């Protein structure tokens, strides 16, 4: 469970917020503070005021995975197998342990990481490589910042299947695809730095009736 209390940072003003385990989708207009919230949840950014705890522990003391909208901009290694192993290598594990650990994820994402391929030869599969690298260390919390915004349908399906197989305890994802948000068990809607709605997608989207933030064919469900 993620607990936010008295958070004030940039556009964000969140007096109290509890995010349950499982998958949570975060939606809202541009400038609502969605990415800022993810960066604070990850520990990349420390809030000016307030606190964030993951199971009672600050994010920087947890194992947290992060994948951004353009994951290849943050790749550290040219070869895919080295990139997937990076989170384990930087924990100063013995060579055999991080090679074995990353090997498990290379096999799961064999389409994205076929041995010594270099990431420059990949297209949408770069997201799969970034997911594999983020998940190789088995994080308590995985944060995804619009990773589905530039994927074709096939790669989007592969990434969703990869997430389901990974079994990460908590996943918080910012998405502009309302059909993806609809599939999440829990939903947050931000506007102007405030959480205006939260809860099951059915309840949140009902509250957003008449806005642009509705899944395709939502009216056919009513």
* pLDDT tens by residue, 72-118: 677 766 677 777 776 666 655 554 444 444 455 455 544 444 444 55
Confidence class of residue 167 from pLDDT cuts 50, 70 and 90? confident
Sheet containing strand 64-67, edge to edge, reads: 64-67, 141-145, 170-174, 22-27, 186-191, 194-199
* Residue 111: count of CB within 10 angstroms of its CB: 12
- Give 97 or 1, the one with higher predicted confidence: 1
The predicted pLDDT at position 102 comes to: 46
What angle, rounded to 10 degrees, do the helices at 80-89 and 125-135 form? 20
Contacts of 100 (CB under 8 A, 6+ apart): none
Provide CATH code, domain 1-62+141-147+185-222.
Answer: 3.40.50.300
Among 110, 71, 102, 64, CA closest to 85: 102
The domain spans of the chain are 1-62+141-147+185-222
173 near 160, Cβ under 8 Å? no
Its pTM stands at 0.82
Secondary structure letter of residue 118 according to DSSP:
B
From the number of C-beta atoms within 10 Å of its C-beta (0-12, 13-18, 19+), residue 82 rates as middle
| Reported confidence tier of residue 164, pLDDT bands at 50, 70, 90 | confident
Considering the chain, what percentage of its residues have pLDDT values greater than 70?
76
Say if residue 161's pLDDT is above 90. Answer: no
User: d(Cα 64, Cα 60) in Å, to the nearest integer?
Assistant: 8
Look up residue 171 and give its two tokens. 């996943």
* H helical segments located in 90-152: 95-108, 125-135
Q: Tell me the helices (H) and strands (E) count for the chain, helix number first.
A: 8, 9
Reduced to 3 states, what is the DSSP secondary structure of residue 114? Answer: coil
Higher pLDDT, 116 or 70: 70
Mean pLDDT of the chain: 82
């Amino acid at each position: 469970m993620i607990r936010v209390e008295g958070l004030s940072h940039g556009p964000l003003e969140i007096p109290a917020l509890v995010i349950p385990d499982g998958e949570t989708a975060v939606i809202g207009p541009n400038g609502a503070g969605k990415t800022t919230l993810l960066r604070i949840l990850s520990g990349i950014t420390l809030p000016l005021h307030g606190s964030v705890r993951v199971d009672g522990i600050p994010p920087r003391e947890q194992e947290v995975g992060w994948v951004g909208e353009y994951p290849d901009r943050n790749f550290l290694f040219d070869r895919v197998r080295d990139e997937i192993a990076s989170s384990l290598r930087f924990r100063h594990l013995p060579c055999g342990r991080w090679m074995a650990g990353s090997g498990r994820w290379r096999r799961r994402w064999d389409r994205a990481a076929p041995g010594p391929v270099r990431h420059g030869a990949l297209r949408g599969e770069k997201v799969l490589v970034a997911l594999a690298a983020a998940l190789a260390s088995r994080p308590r919390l995985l944060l995804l910042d619009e990773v589905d915004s530039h994927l074709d349908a096939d790669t989007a399906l592969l990434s969703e299947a990869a997430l389901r197989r990974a079994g990460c305890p908590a996943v918080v994802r910012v998405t502009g695809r309302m059909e993806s948000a609809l599939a999440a068990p829990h939903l947050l809607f931000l506007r102007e730095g405030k959480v205006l709605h939260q809860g099951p997608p059915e309840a949140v989207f009902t509250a957003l009736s008449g806005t642009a933030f509705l899944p395709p064919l939502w009216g056919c469900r009513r």
